[in-house]
Structure 1
Amino acid sequence: MTPTLFQRLLGASFYSLPDSVRALHGIRGRARYAGRATILRGRNPLGRLCAMVAGLPGAREDVPTTVDFDARPDGETWQRNFGGRRMRSRLRRDGRVLVERLGPLRFRFALHANNGSIWWRVVGVKLFGVLPLPASWFDGVYCREGEHEGRYTFEVEAALPLCGRLIRYEGWLEPDAG
């Protein structure tokens, strides 16, 4: 069986991750996960503009959340829904990095498995797929995936110089039985 995107990127360390994290990143084909999330947004007007351009959801507390996964051998599509506010991204592998296209930005992430979590760190960004932006601008952007009480958990932070926090969202997901 062909390894999934995250299995290829993380190699042997994938198999040391908690069950719920391995299950989510072991999806082949289509699946839906459901849970709850809390979303915080920054107050800086420039940060709010950047968040709007990127199509990021607004601040909400304990919002119903679903993620529809379409995992194919060449990459994955994630369609997030935060209480009616949708956010779509496309993920693929480029060598040893994960590439995520989100709005007009194309992020390159190094993934690291550590203490039962997957950490995403930005190693490159392109605007409109062609204009490279300094990776140092994105030192405040990260993702952590893990497990708590048997549920897959996520925490995403995006802060930029001069803009401050664009967004922070965190919550949990489990397979949707419905």
Structure 2
Amino acid sequence: MDAGVVDAVTDASLYRQVMGSAFDALPPQVQALHAGCDARQWSGVARIRRGTGLLSRLVAAAIGFPKAAEQVPVTVAFTPERGGERWTRDFAGRRFSSWQRRGAGRNDALLVERFGAIDVALALVVEGERLTLVPRRWSCLGIPLPKALLPKGKTFETEVDGRFVFDVEIAAPIVGLIVAYRGSLLPD
């Protein structure tokens, strides 16, 4: 089953709006994290890896990604904003945020996540017990960027032992690994 069939109403949570009935196939903790429409916060621990090349370090620093470390306390605050959600991630005091919203036009049926001036349109795909986030296209200040340079990586969410588990990897052609972080969260 995959995302793309949008049959949800607009007062539903952001991920339910994007995924439609596919949302119901998600593991319980993944549904719980994405079911809210109000401000909420989840906390846990994460392991962070960073790329070692000059370009990857520059990109990671520009976005504000955390430095490589083991067993880092992490908090993610979700705040409603302009019809979407502001995700503020705090890795042991190192904070960065993005704004997620339902795609429109050419990004219909996709989740669009903004990091600064960059928008990345993501397909939300249910694969077994995982929600996989698949980059489809990107733009800077609304100007489409070449798909050949689109950042990629293996990014998914799942549930393990009753905890929400995330595994995010962001890499780009030429640049290589920018950042990868893996961990688990529970609601505060």
TM-score normalised by structure 2 residue count: 0.88
What letter matches 1:64 in structure 2? Answer: P
Contact 1:97–1:110 (Cα < 8 Å) also in 2 = yes
Identity of aligned residues (%): 36
Structure 2 residues not aligned, in runs of 5+? 1-8
Distance 1:4 1:174 in 2: 18
| Correspondences of 1:142-161 after superposition (within 5 Å) | 142-161=154-173
Deviation string, structure 1 residues 22-50 (Cα, Å, up to 9, x no partner):
11100121111000011100111111111
Query: 2 CA distance for matches of 1:141 and 1:125?
Result: 14
**Kept in 2: contact 1:10–1:113 (CA 8 A):** no
User: 1:52 and 1:104 mapped to 2: Cα distance?
Assistant: 15
The answer for the alignment partner of 2:23 in structure 1 is 14
> Aligned partners of 2:16, 2:58: CA distance in 1, in Å?
35
Larger strand share, 1 or 2: 1
Output one character per residue of 1:35-71: Cα deviation in whole Å (capped at 9) or x when no partner.
0011100111111111112221111111000001113
How far apart are 1:170 and its partner, in Å? Answer: 0.6
CA contact 2:42–2:185 (8 Å) conserved in 1: yes
Q: Distance in 1 between matches of 2:142 and 2:19?
A: 27
Contact 1:122–1:142 (CA<8 Å) still a contact in 2? Answer: no
Task: Determine the C-alpha separation between the residues in 1 that align with 2:161 and 2:72.
Answer: 19
Q: In structure 2, what is the equivalent of residue 52 of structure 1?
A: 61
1:104 aligns with 2:117: yes
Q: In the alignment, what sits opposite 1:69?
A: 78
Counterpart of 1:164 in structure 2 is 176
For 1:174, give the aligned amino acid: L
Post-superposition offset of 1:73: 7.9
Structure 1 gap segments, 5+ residues each = none
Instruction: Provide the residue aligned with 1:133 in structure 2.
Output: 145
CA contact (8 A) 1:53 1:103 kept: no
